[in-house]
Amino acid sequence: MANISESKVCELEVKANEIRTTLIEMLTEAGSGHTAGPLGMADIFTAFYFHILNHNPKNPFWEKRDRLILSNGHITPIRYAAMAHAGYFPIKETKTLRKFGSRLQGHPERERLPGVETTSGPLGSGLGQAAGIAYGARMDKKTFRVYCLMSDGEQEAGNTWESAMFAGKNKLSNLTAVIDRNNIQINGMTEDVMPLEPLKDKYEAFNWHVLEVDGHNIEAFVDAVEEAKAIYEKPTVIIAHTIPGKGIKEIEFDYTWHGKPPKPEEAKRFLSELRTLGGKITCGDL
């Protein structure tokens, strides 16, 4: 049984396309930043900020809010774009990405931007931060949920597995991790650089409940998050299979786009493609 209506899914697909458009515009204006990973995570960030999270953009320090921890901080432009569309700050501020004095730095800084829970940059740190927050919430009998978004490349970091052991040992069922399984990292494909498979079996061995979904199927992703809420005394990890560069055909699956922004002439093509794609999303009278 679906946990989200067809009309809502279509609404989120439209919003994800708008957020991808904002992402391309802000990266082009900045002249630096990451493109492939953020594009690939647009659907998941849209699902979080417009359907899943219990949050209040007008009161980002609300005590009962769910906590969203971004471990792979280099994809933060897509988080900024989603936050702006959700109402945390004006969309026009996204054009200040990576500029001196901006609240929108290349890696998120907790003290600069309300709504950002942690400062992140060093890969492999986020799961430990999220597990600590989840553990503290349980001690204090708080009911908010903790979500941790990670890259697949940072599964190569040893402290990720220390944190996985901690969460599994302490049965942190209020913690859901999401791995962006896009198979690329800065210098190639993950399975060439440092093979991760069998990733599902590894997490199960650490006492995690593991789900695998198409990270661009918003309905399937929402259903997975809802299933995680029903798992008793185990943390859940959702391995979300995504396409790096999703929405821009000429850069999909191209790892060289991991850490570079579009040039102005490229951005024109990319934005045209996104506008065409957006015109094909028809919600009808659902």
Q: What is the pLDDT of residue 284?
A: 61
Res. 283: pLDDT tops 90? no
Q: H helices then E strands: how many in the chain?
A: 10, 7
- C-alpha 71/C-alpha 157 separation (Å) is 12
pLDDT of 279: 86
Question: Is the bond preceding 198 in cis, omega lying within 30 degrees of 0?
Answer: yes
Positive or negative, the CA dihedral 125, 43, 243, 174 is positive
Q: How many residues does the chain have?
A: 286
* Mean pLDDT value across residues 242-252: 96
pTM of the predicted protein model: 0.96
252-268 confidence digits (pLDDT tens): 999 999 989 999 999 99
Domains of the chain plus CATH, in order, are 6-280 (3.40.50.970)
Question: Which one, of 182, 180, 170, lies nearest residue 72 by Cα?
Answer: 180
* pLDDT averaged over every residue in the chain: 95
What confidence tens digit (pLDDT) does each residue in 221-232 have?
Answer: 999 999 999 999
134-180, pLDDT tens digit by residue?
999 999 999 999 999 999 999 999 999 999 999 999 999 999 999 99
* Structure confidence by residue, pLDDT tens digits, 195-211: 999 999 999 999 999 99
pLDDT band at 54 (very low <50, low <70, confident <90, very high): very high
- Taking only the tens place, the pLDDT of each residue in 85-110 is 999 999 999 999 999 999 999 999 99
pLDDT at 286: 46
Q: Measure the CA–CA gap between 165 and 173, rounded to whole angstroms.
A: 14
Does 278 have pLDDT greater than 50? yes
> Long-range contacts made by residues 204-207, C-beta under 8 angstroms, separation at least 24?
206/161, 206/164, 206/165, 206/167, 206/168, 207/168, 207/169, 207/171, 207/234, 207/235
- Are 130 and 175 contacting, i.e. CB atoms less than 8 angstroms apart? yes
* 146 in Cβ contact with 176 (< 8 Å): yes
Residue 1 in this model has a pLDDT that exceeds 60: no
**Six-digit token pair at 256?**
């060289």
What gap in Å lies between CA 215 and CA 195, rounded to an integer? Answer: 20
Q: What is the pLDDT of residue 281?
A: 86
